[in-house]
Amino acid sequence: MTMLRSVVTGVGGYLPERVVTNDDLAKFVDTSDEWIVERTGIRQRHQVRDDQPVSDLAVEAAKKALAAAGRTPDEVDLIIVATTTADLTFPAVATIVQRKLGCPVGVAFDVQAVCSGFVYALSVADGFVARNRSKCALVIGAETMTRLMDWTDRGTCVLFGDGAGCVVLEPQEGQGTTADRGLLGFALRADGTKQELLYVDGGPSTNGQVGHLRMQGNQVFRHAVVNISEAIVSAAEDAGVEVASVDWFVPHQANLRILQGVAKRVGIDEHKVITTLDQHANTSAASIPLALDQGVRDGRVKPGQLLLLEAMGGGLTWGACVLRL
């Protein structure tokens, strides 16, 4: 039986020019390259200029994804931006991206699920594209996480970076089998009782400030491997595939030990893991599309291959997605 699938037809990424190494951080916070690399796998991160809002990062990633898809801004009818670091409290970054790209009147809004935002946004976009309510959708993960850092807190400020990634989604007819290209399965989760483990201590309806990221890192770590692994198994079941059959594991890039722990627990060969956190650090909702962009650009990830995406972040929220490129 034929059915419409939401197919990724283009991928793009953008990283700010400024690179901040672990040694750069060690000049003003009590840390070392050795500690950061050993505990996290991170070696450097990119950081925005003071005059660069997150929408600028999103626009650059979107331009590259549209070029890769062979589409132009005038064809875009849906923009979803996953972000936790919006330019303004409102309007949504997605509408700013729409204006800056010059896209026609369509649907544009943001999704706020912190590091899990891109997986959540893909699922939301699938609701439009696979129902033929969008012919050309941009799903963007874009973040300026360095703007949320308390630069005196060594337990958090060494972990995050800035960047944006984007995929173009288009409806294509499939056969309703796992051989179809497109988004094949999802598992999304949230547990609001774990808010105190990872949050930002500011907001428009509390203290009217942007706030700083606060995290009980070792507690988040404890939940990460178990939660993410369960979501991966559920997403694979939803898609009707075996986890071991995926060609590439494209995880949210939080900590190398989390990536390795998850891969081991669900039975994914470590050579199938796309890793960028050594270069990008944790870019929250941007990290999955940036890793996907890296894999596509260096030729490892090819059309027709089966991919597994996963993320966990503030909320807590977490989730996984299986797609065939």
Point out which residues bind ligand ACO (CB under 6 A).
31, 35-36, 39-40, 115, 154-155, 158-159, 198, 215, 217-218, 220-221, 224, 252, 254-255, 282, 312-313
Closer of 200 and 239 to ligand ACO (Cβ): 200
Residue 293 and residue 273 in contact, taking contact as beta carbons nearer than 8 Å:
no
Closer of 115 and 183 to ligand ACO (Cβ): 115
Q: Minimum CB separation from ligand ACO for residue 315, in Å?
A: 10
Please tell me which residue in 166, 227, 282, 321 is annotated as part of the active site.
282
Q: Minimum CB separation from ligand ACO for residue 217, in Å?
A: 3
Q: Minimum CB separation from ligand ACO for residue 317, in Å?
A: 10
Position of minimal CB gap to ligand ACO: 217
Closer of 31 and 276 to ligand ACO (Cβ): 31
Residue 49 and residue 112 in contact, taking contact as beta carbons nearer than 8 Å:
no
Please tell me which residue in 22, 46, 103, 115 is annotated as part of the active site.
115
Q: Rounded to an integer, what distance in angstroms lies between the CA atom of residue 256 and that of residue 48?
A: 24
Is residue 282 annotated as a catalytic residue, yes or no? yes
Q: Minimum CB separation from ligand ACO for residue 284, in Å?
A: 7
Is residue 321 annotated as a catalytic residue, yes or no? no
Q: Minimum CB separation from ligand ACO for residue 41, in Å?
A: 9
Closer of 132 and 218 to ligand ACO (Cβ): 218
Please tell me which residue in 22, 166, 212, 252 is annotated as part of the active site.
252
Closer of 288 and 296 to ligand ACO (Cβ): 288
- The residues annotated as belonging to the active site are 115, 252, 282
